[in-house]
Amino acid sequence: MPISGKKAIKILEENGFAVSRQKGSHVVLTKKLVNGKKIVVVPVHKELKRGTLRSIAAMSELNKSKFGL
């Protein structure tokens, strides 16, 4: 099942990330940690490719299954 950029953002927000800014079609989300912060960039497209979803999962350190992989 393809996931849109908006759906990926919603998944990240449910896991502690917050939208910090947007430039064009890319949204930057951050999550504050004890020793710094984690940054994830998500393109707002109708359908994200599998490689892009894998990259988002790796940057966020969330399980790939949350993104349907």
Residue 13 lies in a domain: yes
The domain spanning residue 11 has which CATH number?
3.30.920.30
Model confidence, pTM: 0.88
The H or E element spanning position 37 is strand 36-43
Q: Is 57 a domain residue? A: yes
Domain carrying residue 14: 5-63
| Number of domains present in the structure of the chain | 1
Structural domain contains residue 25: yes
Residue 68 is assigned to a structural domain of this protein: no
User: How confident is the model over 2-56, as pLDDT tens digits?
Assistant: 789 999 999 999 999 999 999 999 999 999 989 889 999 999 999 999 999 999 9
Query: Is residue 26 included in any domain, yes or no?
Result: yes
> With the CA atoms of 52, 17, 7 and 5 taken in that order, what torsion angle do they form, in degrees rounded to the nearest 10?
-40
